[in-house]
Amino acid sequence: MGGDHAPQVTIEGAIEAADNGLDVLLVGHEPTLKTELSKHPNAPRLEIVHAEDVIEMHEHPAHAIRQKKNSSINVAARLLKEAKADALFSAGNSGAVMAAALFTLGRIEGVHRPAIGAVIPLLDGRVFLVDAGANADCDARNLLQFAQLGSAYANHVLGIARPRVGLVSNGEEETKGSALVQAALPLLKDSGLEFVGNVEGKDVTRGACDVAVCDGFTGNVMLKLAEGVQELILGLVREAIVSRPHYKLAGAVLRPALRRAARRLDYTEYGGAPLVGVNAPVFIGHGRSNAKAIYNGLRTAAEAASRDLIPTLAAAIRS
Amino acid sequence: MGGDHAPQVTIEGAIEAADNGLDVLLVGHEPTLKTELSKHPNAPRLEIVHAEDVIEMHEHPAHAIRQKKNSSINVAARLLKEAKADALFSAGNSGAVMAAALFTLGRIEGVHRPAIGAVIPLLDGRVFLVDAGANADCDARNLLQFAQLGSAYANHVLGIARPRVGLVSNGEEETKGSALVQAALPLLKDSGLEFVGNVEGKDVTRGACDVAVCDGFTGNVMLKLAEGVQELILGLVREAIVSRPHYKLAGAVLRPALRRAARRLDYTEYGGAPLVGVNAPVFIGHGRSNAKAIYNGLRTAAEAASRDLIPTLAAAIRS
């Protein structure tokens, strides 16, 4: 039921996942989902788990999760709790997904604050940004755990042998940084992780690290700014193209190439964002996810579950 | 003497400024500057003020400012103090420029923490980001003053009648934000400024406000990330263009248009970044400024001085 184009797009993504061999449970309002499924007569049969309510995007996450016991996200979280499902993906209210995960599934032992991770594609490779928005205020110990969880995720799910961890700061020098960054620096140095020091915004996009660690306020501002700058630059390119007749023709030829470039930065295209530190594989997608993004999210969630993500993250925190 | 390509590029920019009627004092190592000037036999005469030392980019700002009394930046700041110059522009170590400004020129009465402002061009108009990097840790009162100074600057220098002020946050809703943002929100609401509430990263690039207020850690991460994302996207566009032979030709036609788009986001092209709250017009440029950026910085600094920037900012703080 979650996402700007639900249930139409959500179901299209789920059908693609089922076509590719995934075992998908659709959690939501059964009559609505049945009507939508009936538009796909040739699709493989998808199991529906009925949920009476929906938490809307504007609702206060924690309140809504407590009040709407039978919202689709609560019902889905209970399926994991009862071992009737192995992983969860939602493109709905991400705060509500985090709240449902915390209330119903809990945290991995030793984790103080679960975080949102975001896989951001770069020119060459990708970077895992954590926390991308769950915790607006953090202490140094939280950042250390984000680094441990992020490093384990990058290794286990993204296949990076010894992930380089960077600490997002306003300068590479060790003297730079907020009080939080300065307090986190010695913890990261002593962490046993492959810590590469402070990284600036442009180091992150240049691939200076595999895991970029920051508080959720900074991470969320970064993610949304990256989206905004992408939009702005492509707008500037478009404006430049229409400024001269002979550019227009060249622009028409290049349109598919520009569109491809534009989509490369959209992190939701690449399988959703994991809630690292939650005691089950839970992934969130962008509200404006298309069917492909939904499919990628389901695929990544299934892969994470089949590869024992949670025991791996738990071991990283214990160490 | 400041900037990655000094003194060559600095002097080229200064000559362009002199050609356009500005009265430029070159502050730096006289023999070096004379040699460089001799390469421009047809240039208007530029006055040189000798300074024995230079503060390098890697030096600790406050230490270097105290130890190198006769560094070019200290000598330049003293020219303002002694009313022998009206404004200062430097593309050198920006921390050292701030330190020299604070030690020698002081703060506008009532200002707790001067900040760096950055004019960021958008598709339609521009946004003034403050603090872009001077203060990594701030309190709510600092953010209020950044808003007051930023609003007065946007009005007086950028010519925006009633600048809309936004508070950078991890969500537009009032419930979102770090503890700092939540504490600043009521102060901004009661400020008498045209406050439009919380703004996300992509609201900033979409022009939701004329002045975007944040702590210097967030602002600096944003500026450098914007630079990095720009570089990344243009890299992706370039990669897409070379991927097919028929794209290459179209790409060659479009190269000037793409280059123009690429330069639109470079805030240093637009006149440097003012140190708002310092008791004199002081502007810093990017280390990699080219001659045009140096010229624009000198021009903006001169304009700000001739328009009584400092009394205007002082009035904004008093109100």
Supply the DSSP string of A124-185, one letter for each residue. SSEEEEE-SSS-SS--HHHHHHHHHHHHHHHHHTS--SS-EEEEE-SSSSTT-S-HHHHHHH
What pLDDT, on the 0 to 100 scale, is given for residue B3?
Answer: 81
Q: Which of B170, B215, B235 sits opposite A136 (nearest CB)?
A: B170
The pLDDT of B281-290, averaged and rounded, is 89
Asked if A143 and A184 count as a contact pair (C-beta separation under 8 A), the reply is yes
- Residue A94's pLDDT is 86
Q: Which residues of B touch A134 (CB under 8 A)?
A: none
Question: Which of B217, B244, B253 minimises the CB distance to A246?
Answer: B253
Cα separation, A166 vs A185, whole angstroms: 10
| CA-to-CA separations, A131 to A137, A315, B27, B162, B218, in angstroms, rounded | 11, 19, 45, 36, 15
Q: Tell me whether residues B265 and A201 touch, CB distance under 8 A.
A: no
* Whole-angstrom Cα Rg for chain A: 20
Of A124, A169, A237, which to mutate for an interface test with B (greatest number of B Cβ within 10 Å)? A237
Which of the residues B93, B185, B205, B206 would you substitute to probe the A interface, choosing the one with the greatest number of A C-beta atoms within 10 Å?
A: B205
Mean pLDDT score across all residues of chain A:
92
CA B186/CA B93 separation, integer angstroms: 36
Strand order in the sheet with B211-213: B88-90, B282-284, B273-276, B115-121, B126-130, B211-213, B164-168, B194-199
Name the β-bridge partners of B164: B194
A42-94 pLDDT per residue, tens: 888 899 999 999 998 888 888 999 999 999 999 999 999 999 999 999 999 88
Residue B219: closest C-alpha in chain A: A170
Concatenating the DSSP letter of every residue in B235-271 gives HHHHHHHHTSHHHHHHHHHHHHHHHHHHHHT-GGGGT
Fold of B1-111+277-307: Isopropylmalate Dehydrogenase (3.40.718)
What is the predicted ipTM?
A: 0.91
Name the residue among A127, A151, A261 with its Cα closest to residue A205: A127
pLDDT classification of B266: cutoffs 50, 70, 90: low
Q: Are B215 and A106 in contact (CB under 8 A)?
A: no
Which chain A residue has the Cα nearest residue B217?
A: A170
- CA-based nearest residue in chain A for residue B247: A254
User: Are B171 and A226 a contacting pair at CB < 8 A?
Assistant: no
Residues of B in contact with A60 (CB under 8 A): 175
Q: Which two tokens stand for residue A47?
A: 């199991």
Tokens 């703080």 identify what position? Answer: B317
Contact B224 A201 (CB under 8 A): yes
Listing DSSP states for B84-116 in one string gives: S-S-EEE-S-HHHHHHHIIIII-BPTT-SS-EE
Q: What angle do CA A154, A143, A179 make, to 5 degrees?
A: 140
Contacts of B254 in chain A (CB under 8 A): 240-241, 247, 250-251, 254
CA-based nearest residue to A219, from A147, A290, A270: A147
How far is the C-alpha of A16 from the C-alpha of A43, rounded, in Å? Answer: 9
* pLDDT tens-place values along chain A, 319 residues long: 888 888 999 999 999 999 999 999 999 999 999 999 999 998 888 999 999 999 988 888 889 999 999 999 999 999 999 999 999 999 998 889 999 999 999 999 999 999 999 999 898 889 999 999 999 999 999 999 999 999 999 999 999 999 999 999 998 888 889 999 999 999 999 999 999 999 999 999 999 999 999 999 999 999 999 989 988 888 888 888 888 888 888 888 888 888 877 777 666 567 789 999 999 999 999 888 889 899 999 999 999 999 999 999 999 999 8
Give B231→chain A minimum CA distance, Å. Answer: 8
pLDDT value, residue A45: 83
- Return the number of CB contacts < 8 Å for A and B: 211
Q: Which CATH superfamily is domain A1-111+277-319 in?
A: Isopropylmalate Dehydrogenase (3.40.718.10)
